[in-house]
Amino acid sequence: MARYIVRRLLGLVPVLLGVALLVFAMLWIAPGDPVLALVGESAQGMSREALEELRRAYGLDRGFVAQFVDYVTRLARGDLGDSIRTGRPVLEEVWLRFPATLLLAGSAMAVAIALGMALGVLAAIYRRTWVDHAAVVVALLGVSVPVFWSGLVLMLVFALRLGWLPASGYGDWRHLVMPAAAVGFSSSAFIARITRASMIETLRQDYVRTDHAKGLAPGVVHRHALRNALLPVVTVVGLQFGGLLGGAVLTETVFAWPGVGRMLVDAIRARDLPLVQGTVLFIATLFILVNLVVDLSYAALNPKVRYD
């Protein structure tokens, strides 16, 4: 397993280089001038020489290849550059926002796993009954309803009408309830559908029929079946969690949550190229590491899985 982990970690290098090149190229061809976005309205009173001096100071006066080589060289030293807006290191900016994103992602996934797996297991056990139909309807709503719309509905009901929770912001646990519920409900739909399909397939296996024939309690049989049905569920949970760690952009924007996703949107609007590039690389790294943890968890769930 150690060799497998080392190979996967070494595989980070070409993937991150590809991500860096793709993001760099997209920002290069995007319209707008980062220097003009930085100086704002004061650009009208600045001379062309002063603007060119700013471009030289940020290295924006050189060609695409020269800028990209310089960027990759700094990446090799662990330097993601400095934010154009704040002047602080990009990595510092990301780490300041990441705890809020991690809190939201963890809370949302707790809601999604609890609700999604419960709906999926019940739908599989009571297949073709009203329980199954109700679970399918809830899952369909979770897939169909946009997160920003469900977030606005929650704000309307629990913040404006009932006054139980704050409408937005970042503070105590009450600020976390609505964003975690909005994101968790959406993610639970995917988990519920995969859990249902995997459980139905597992419950048809011969060993499940043997367990019933031996007189084991239904709860024991279902626990045995659930463990074998978890592999595809864990995959979906990992993908969902990896995406949330990158920042739930819509949710963080609706609820004014100071996470990585909202910071990325603000950086794109301000044409803060170093911050956009560094944030995307950080998100890509997290996603790959989450997928690695998911792959390693297969061996714990299924003894047949080997990585040697």
For domain 98-301, give the CATH number: 1.10.3720.10
**Can you give the pTM of this predicted structure?**
0.79
Instruction: Give first-to-last CA distance, the chain, whole Å.
Output: 6
Digit-by-digit pLDDT tens for the chain (308 residues) are 677 777 777 777 788 788 888 877 877 776 666 666 666 655 556 666 676 776 776 666 677 787 788 878 887 787 777 787 777 888 888 888 888 888 888 888 898 899 888 888 888 888 888 888 888 888 888 878 888 788 888 888 888 888 888 877 787 788 888 888 888 888 888 888 888 888 888 877 777 777 767 777 777 777 777 777 778 888 888 888 877 776 577 788 888 888 888 888 888 877 777 888 888 888 888 888 887 787 777 766 666 666 55
CATH 1.10.3720.10 location in the chain:
98-301
Query: How buried is residue 227: exposed, middle or buried, by Cβ count under 10 Å (0-12/13-18/19+)?
Result: exposed
Q: Residue type at 250?
A: L
| Helix runs in the chain, H state only | 2-10, 12-29, 34-39, 48-57, 64-76, 90-125, 130-144, 147-154, 173-203, 206-213, 218-228, 230-245, 249-254, 260-269, 273-301
The CA distances from residue 40 to 23, 34, 37, 129, 243, in Å, are: 24, 10, 5, 62, 33
